[in-house]
Structure 1
Amino acid sequence: MDQIEQNLHQVKENIAAACRRSGRNPDEVRIVAVTKYVDLETTRRALDAGLTHIGESRAQEAVPKWEQLGDRGIWHFIGHLQSNKAKAVAGRFTYVHSLDRFSLAKELNRRSEAAGRPTRCFVQVNVSGEASKHGLDPVEVKEFVEQAAEFPYLQLEGLMTMAPFTEDPEEARPVFRRLKELQRELQQSGASGTALPHLSMGMSRDYQVAVEEGATFVRLGSVLVGEAYPKQR
């Protein structure tokens, strides 16, 4: 068995256990294989192992991979997206996990319309308040969602956040819990015009906690496809 297949088997077992602890169905959780630091062949092996969702974060490196493998999976842009890169992403990436400002929403809508394909978006929220992280302040999200929902070529899927990097995954729990609470608040308000059904949260170190707190997409790199190859460490 290929190492990625073995890793995937273990990840699925861990997700199933987290779902049992929280009373969830494992089928609700989708695994995004983060291949941004690995080469084309490793990305191909991830697809061969049965992974469907592929996550990249640098347009200039992701597009060549997509040109080779784009017909084999569902592609997610998970990194900070500059507005001038929206053209490269629209029409190629089904999902964008980092919608965090109106100017990007406007440009991504325009480029998606030109590509003839709506883009499914997660609104990025900086729950932890770290200056080093992108994303909206939680108090800004409701107004932003109302504005972004007006763009016909943006399909708002839900919310995304990144927890602080810590050795103890439990320290991420309050961040994930707050994003779930924010999702409920938006859904109950009815003002967003969209159901916002999904939560993109949890990475290799803390994904089991994220699943316990309601994640429907987890973004997993090293635990699935291995560490970055040396030139990109």
Structure 2
Amino acid sequence: FSLFFAWLLFLIFLFIYFLSGGFVAPVFVQKGKDVLLDVDNVPEDFFLFVWIFDKESSSLVTFFPDGKSQISPTYTGRIDYSAKKKYSVILKNLQEKDSGVYTGRTLNKNIYVVSPVQLEVNSVSNSSHSCNVTLTCSTADSHISSTFRCDSQKCDQDGGNQSKITNSSSTLEVYLWDVTVICKHRNQVSSTEDRTDIQHAVDSKSTKSFRIWTGSYVALEATLLLLSIYLCMCAEEILNQSIFKKL
């Protein structure tokens, strides 16, 4: 009787645990395949509905009450919308780093005004051919650190654009635009940002000289070089004509 009673208590506990949302059903997906992040019974009076990757506290996609949605820059090209369910999404091309818990979360209608952000240069390491710059994008209750690698032709951000949901349910993101790093803190009613040029970041933390060439600067240099060659050819032609006239 005691064993039966113990099993009964365990089953009741398991049932309550499942109903409370504490049970997470595991899904096994082959590397490179897609997975459906499925959700039912989303209340229609939500302020925001967000799919969140719990391991990194990063948002995948945000749905708004007017039917519009916004995919996080980190997951651009990896999210498709389900044709059958309004707020279910498909995460494509899964890799080992994607393993973890994904949560569909509704956010209430409390209005938060986002706090200012600060973009700080943590470290710079460079050589004659390349440099690595690590910066931290921070706000009052959260931060993101990201490393940027540059050579004489271009700059790239390790891992691509990065974003996360803060404790106040706003979005903090850091991304690269040409050779400018942008740190942005936003929600649906306000937004703040800070930005810095990577060349300025390198100069502020390093005693070694390293020059980052942008596409527009290279084009300008090429134009000036061609113009110089053309002027030299014109000068040589004028000189030859002058000598010919004297003869």
Query: How high is the TM-score relative to the length of structure 2?
Result: 0.23
Q: Relative to total residues, which structure has the larger strand share, 1 or 2? A: 2
**Higher RCO (C-alpha under 8 Å, 6+ residues apart):** 1
Structure showing greater Rg: 2
